[in-house]
Protein backbone atom coordinates (compact mmCIF):
# COMPACT_ATOMS: atom_id res chain seq x y z
CA UNK A 1 0.00 0.00 0.00
CA UNK A 2 1.22 3.43 -0.89
CA UNK A 3 -1.62 5.78 -0.09
CA UNK A 4 -1.38 9.16 -1.77
CA UNK A 5 -3.68 12.18 -1.52
CA UNK A 6 -4.40 14.05 -4.76
CA UNK A 7 -3.29 17.71 -4.64
CA UNK A 8 -6.13 18.62 -7.04
CA UNK A 9 -9.17 16.90 -5.52
CA UNK A 10 -8.02 15.42 -2.15
CA UNK A 11 -9.06 11.92 -3.23
CA UNK A 12 -6.82 9.25 -1.66
CA UNK A 13 -5.81 6.03 -3.40
CA UNK A 14 -3.08 3.39 -3.57
CA UNK A 15 -0.52 4.76 -6.02
CA UNK A 16 1.33 1.44 -6.08
CA UNK A 17 -1.73 -0.01 -7.84
CA UNK A 18 -2.93 2.94 -9.90
CA UNK A 19 -0.48 5.54 -11.27
CA UNK A 20 -2.85 8.52 -11.12
CA UNK A 21 -5.76 9.80 -9.05
CA UNK A 22 -8.79 7.79 -10.29
CA UNK A 23 -11.08 10.75 -9.74
CA UNK A 24 -9.03 13.21 -11.81
CA UNK A 25 -8.26 10.52 -14.38
CA UNK A 26 -11.98 9.81 -14.87
CA UNK A 27 -12.74 13.52 -15.28
CA UNK A 28 -9.88 13.92 -17.74
CA UNK A 29 -11.00 11.02 -19.94
CA UNK A 30 -14.60 12.20 -19.79
CA UNK A 31 -13.54 15.67 -20.97
CA UNK A 32 -12.00 14.33 -24.19
CA UNK A 33 -14.38 14.86 -27.13
CA UNK A 34 -12.93 11.97 -29.15
CA UNK A 35 -12.57 9.36 -26.41
CA UNK A 36 -15.23 7.28 -28.17
CA UNK A 37 -14.40 7.17 -31.87
CA UNK A 38 -17.25 6.51 -34.35
CA UNK A 39 -15.62 3.18 -35.23
CA UNK A 40 -16.16 1.94 -31.66
CA UNK A 41 -19.55 3.59 -31.05
CA UNK A 42 -22.40 1.01 -31.05
CA UNK A 43 -24.93 3.76 -31.75
CA UNK A 44 -23.48 4.68 -35.13
CA UNK A 45 -22.15 1.49 -36.70
CA UNK A 46 -21.19 1.69 -40.36
CA UNK A 47 -20.09 -1.52 -42.10
CA UNK A 48 -16.28 -1.77 -42.24
CA UNK A 49 -13.92 -4.10 -44.11
CA UNK A 50 -12.24 -5.16 -40.87
CA UNK A 51 -13.18 -6.52 -37.46
CA UNK A 52 -13.66 -3.88 -34.83
CA UNK A 53 -15.06 -3.83 -31.33
CA UNK A 54 -17.69 -1.49 -29.96
CA UNK A 55 -18.37 -0.39 -26.41
CA UNK A 56 -21.76 -1.14 -24.75
CA UNK A 57 -24.86 0.71 -25.94
CA UNK A 58 -25.16 2.52 -22.62
CA UNK A 59 -21.59 3.82 -22.69
CA UNK A 60 -22.47 7.39 -23.78
CA UNK A 61 -25.08 7.73 -21.04
CA UNK A 62 -22.95 6.02 -18.38
CA UNK A 63 -19.45 7.02 -19.44
CA UNK A 64 -18.43 8.14 -15.97
CA UNK A 65 -19.28 4.68 -14.55
CA UNK A 66 -17.15 2.87 -17.14
CA UNK A 67 -14.28 5.36 -16.99
CA UNK A 68 -14.20 5.30 -13.19
CA UNK A 69 -14.08 1.50 -13.35
CA UNK A 70 -11.00 1.63 -15.60
CA UNK A 71 -9.36 4.48 -13.65
CA UNK A 72 -9.84 2.76 -10.29
CA UNK A 73 -9.40 -0.92 -11.21
CA UNK A 74 -7.44 -1.04 -14.44
CA UNK A 75 -3.93 -2.31 -15.04
CA UNK A 76 -1.44 -0.04 -16.76
CA UNK A 77 0.79 -1.37 -19.55
CA UNK A 78 3.34 -0.10 -22.03
CA UNK A 79 3.35 -1.46 -25.57
CA UNK A 80 6.95 -1.94 -26.68
CA UNK A 81 6.07 -1.57 -30.37
CA UNK A 82 4.98 2.06 -30.15
CA UNK A 83 5.84 2.95 -26.52
CA UNK A 84 2.15 3.59 -25.99
CA UNK A 85 0.94 3.59 -22.41
CA UNK A 86 -2.53 2.10 -22.09
CA UNK A 87 -5.01 0.91 -19.49
CA UNK A 88 -6.97 -2.34 -19.39
CA UNK A 89 -9.80 -3.28 -17.03
CA UNK A 90 -12.03 -6.32 -17.03
CA UNK A 91 -15.77 -5.75 -17.17
CA UNK A 92 -16.96 -5.17 -13.62
CA UNK A 93 -20.06 -6.50 -11.91
CA UNK A 94 -23.23 -4.62 -12.89
CA UNK A 95 -21.50 -3.59 -16.10
CA UNK A 96 -22.22 -4.39 -19.75
CA UNK A 97 -19.45 -5.65 -22.00
CA UNK A 98 -18.45 -4.46 -25.43
CA UNK A 99 -18.68 -6.69 -28.51
CA UNK A 100 -17.06 -7.50 -31.83
CA UNK A 101 -18.65 -6.34 -35.08
CA UNK A 102 -17.66 -8.55 -38.03
CA UNK A 103 -16.50 -7.13 -41.39
CA UNK A 104 -19.45 -5.93 -43.45
CA UNK A 105 -21.81 -6.17 -40.50
CA UNK A 106 -23.54 -3.55 -38.36
CA UNK A 107 -24.49 -5.94 -35.54
CA UNK A 108 -22.40 -6.43 -32.37
CA UNK A 109 -22.00 -10.15 -31.69
CA UNK A 110 -19.23 -11.81 -29.66
CA UNK A 111 -18.94 -10.14 -26.23
CA UNK A 112 -15.58 -9.11 -24.79
CA UNK A 113 -14.57 -9.20 -21.15
CA UNK A 114 -12.81 -5.88 -20.75
CA UNK A 115 -12.02 -2.38 -21.93
CA UNK A 116 -8.84 -0.76 -23.17
CA UNK A 117 -8.01 2.92 -23.18
CA UNK A 118 -5.03 3.46 -25.49
CA UNK A 119 -2.78 6.54 -25.57
CA UNK A 120 -4.30 6.87 -22.13
CA UNK A 121 -2.28 9.88 -21.02
CA UNK A 122 -2.62 11.85 -24.24
CA UNK A 123 -5.36 14.00 -25.80
CA UNK A 124 -5.75 11.25 -28.42
CA UNK A 125 -6.85 8.70 -25.77
CA UNK A 126 -9.65 6.43 -26.92
CA UNK A 127 -11.56 3.45 -25.64
CA UNK A 128 -12.64 0.13 -27.12
CA UNK A 129 -13.50 -3.40 -26.00
CA UNK A 130 -10.78 -6.06 -25.63
CA UNK A 131 -10.30 -9.44 -23.94
CA UNK A 132 -8.09 -10.17 -20.95
CA UNK A 133 -6.77 -13.22 -22.81
CA UNK A 134 -5.37 -11.05 -25.61
CA UNK A 135 -3.60 -8.77 -23.12
CA UNK A 136 -2.18 -11.76 -21.21
CA UNK A 137 -0.93 -13.37 -24.41
CA UNK A 138 0.90 -10.21 -25.50
CA UNK A 139 2.41 -9.85 -22.02
CA UNK A 140 3.61 -13.48 -22.28
CA UNK A 141 5.12 -12.71 -25.70
CA UNK A 142 6.95 -9.69 -24.27
CA UNK A 143 5.00 -7.20 -26.41
CA UNK A 144 3.36 -5.53 -23.43
CA UNK A 145 5.09 -4.69 -20.17
CA UNK A 146 3.35 -3.73 -16.94
CA UNK A 147 3.93 -0.06 -16.15
CA UNK A 148 7.11 0.27 -14.06
CA UNK A 149 7.52 1.74 -10.61
CA UNK A 150 8.83 5.21 -9.80
CA UNK A 151 12.55 5.66 -10.44
CA UNK A 152 13.13 7.08 -6.93
CA UNK A 153 14.87 4.43 -4.83
CA UNK A 154 12.49 2.55 -2.54
CA UNK A 155 9.35 4.25 -3.87
CA UNK A 156 6.60 1.64 -4.44
CA UNK A 157 4.37 3.92 -6.52
CA UNK A 158 3.79 3.44 -10.23
CA UNK A 159 5.33 6.07 -12.47
CA UNK A 160 3.18 8.65 -14.27
CA UNK A 161 3.60 8.18 -18.03
CA UNK A 162 5.42 9.36 -20.02
CA UNK A 163 7.74 10.31 -17.12
CA UNK A 164 9.66 7.98 -14.82
CA UNK A 165 8.45 9.36 -11.48
CA UNK A 166 5.28 8.80 -9.46
CA UNK A 167 2.64 11.37 -8.51
CA UNK A 168 4.49 12.26 -5.30
CA UNK A 169 7.91 12.59 -6.92
CA UNK A 170 6.74 14.48 -10.01
CA UNK A 171 7.66 18.15 -10.24
CA UNK A 172 5.37 19.74 -9.20
CA UNK A 173 3.95 16.87 -7.10
CA UNK A 174 0.52 15.63 -8.13
CA UNK A 175 -0.12 14.03 -4.74
CA UNK A 176 1.25 13.88 -1.21
CA UNK A 177 1.53 11.12 1.36
CA UNK A 178 -0.73 11.09 4.44
CA UNK A 179 0.59 13.16 7.35
Residues that bind Zn ion (CB under 5 A): 6, 8-9, 11, 21, 23-24, 150, 152, 155, 157, 166, 169
Closest CB to Zn ion among residues 24, 71: 24
Query: Rounded to whole angstroms, how far apart are CA atoms 65 and 141?
Result: 32
Closest CB to Zn ion among residues 55, 174: 174
Closest CB to Zn ion among residues 78, 101: 78
Helix (H) or strand (E) holding 30: helix 22-31
CB of 61 to Zn ion, least distance (A): 24
Query: In sequence order, which ranges of 32-156 are alpha helices (DSSP H)?
Result: 63-73, 132-140
Query: Rounded to whole angstroms, how far apart are CA atoms 85 and 22?
Result: 16
CB of 160 to Zn ion, least distance (A): 9
C-alpha dihedral (89, 90, 92, 98), degrees to nearest 10: 100
CB of 4 to Zn ion, least distance (A): 9
CB of 44 to Zn ion, least distance (A): 32
Closest CB to Zn ion among residues 21, 76: 21
Q: CA separation (Å) from 92 to 10, 40, 95, 154?
A: 25, 19, 5, 32
Amino acid sequence: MAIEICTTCDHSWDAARRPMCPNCQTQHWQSLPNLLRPKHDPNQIQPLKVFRTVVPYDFPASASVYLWHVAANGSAFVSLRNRDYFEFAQVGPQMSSGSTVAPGSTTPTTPHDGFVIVQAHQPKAHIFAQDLGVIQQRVAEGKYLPLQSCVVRGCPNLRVPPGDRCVEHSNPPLARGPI
